[in-house]
Amino acid sequence: MSNQLEQLKKYTTVVADTGDIEAIRRYQPEDATTNPTLLLKAASLPTYSHLLQEAITYGKVHGRGNTDMLHNATDKFAVLIGREILQLIPGRVSTEVDARLSFSSRGTFDKALRLIDLYEQSGISKDRVLIKIASTWEGIKAAEKLERQGIQTNLTLLFGFAQASACADAGVYLISPFVGRILDWYKKSTGRDYAPHEDPGVESVTQIFNYYKSRNYNTVVMGASFRNTGEILELAGCDRLTISPALLEELEQSNDPVIQKLDASNPQPVVDGHSLAETAFRWDMNQDAMSTEKLAEGIRNFAADQVALEQTLAALAKA
């Protein structure tokens, strides 16, 4: 019998949640995603030292002052890693906007254009890139504008139904609900463990998936941030699942059968949703403690990793 990873690929497009070129080469995913945390990890690997130096050189040439140099260098490094990944996969790579811009529609929009421009300068067309944006109201509005200009987006740090509903209304290409981080919150809040079939993160993604399919939204649902393979297997049939190398290896080592749990052609009925104006979105988020807390935490952590990456580049620039 095929291993679980091979079986899963029959139902779901598998995406590698890593910036590690060797892991991508091994598991041969359709797409790949990166974020500031993964880029910071990549920056510590000798394999990418030449890309760091290329990014620093670019930042020095194009930057005006130290801060501008670092912003240019980190943007360039993200694109260089993305370019390397795209040489190994047939699909797309997701590249994330600086989390410190999460509450600025204009800043997010401008940074997205900058990243796309850097990709095009590297010979990569925009149709092979997804711009990752935090699922704040401002981020969703920036994504809506980018989509109208033919730049497709991946709305990340998504934890609740209000975010998913607003993303669908905005016509974003793809959302990344964070399954494992939802589980983390509920485990801490309730003090109990959850079996995969009752996992709050799994239940959230299942609800969103069925809502989208029953309403014929085109937005792709890509479960992310998994804590165990049980969560992954409970979402077999989801449009896409982005999975870390450690969990890809676990799936590869098991030959247990994989059963399709989600079916786009036969979605389960869900409570009918509604379009959200800004005030309704903010109120729904305010009433959802888990989504509000995890969104804020995720933005803080990604911003901290972005700063750490800039510090790494700054130290190398002085060496």
Query: Rounded distance, CA 206 to CA 232, Å?
Result: 12
Query: Rounded distance, CA 285 to CA 153, Å?
Result: 21
Query: Rounded distance, CA 198 to CA 210, Å?
Result: 16
Look up 10 and say whether it is catalytic.
Answer: no
Q: What number of other Cβ atoms are within 10 A of residue 303's Cβ?
A: 17
Catalytic residue among 9, 76, 132, 213: 132
Query: Rounded distance, CA 315 to CA 70, Å?
Result: 11
Q: What's CA 257's distance to the chain center, in Å?
A: 28
Q: For the chain, where are the E strands, in sequence order?
A: 13-17, 31-33, 93-96, 129-134, 153-158, 174-177, 220-223, 240-243
**3-state secondary structure string across 272-289:** CCCCCCHHHHHHHHHHCH
Active site residues: 132
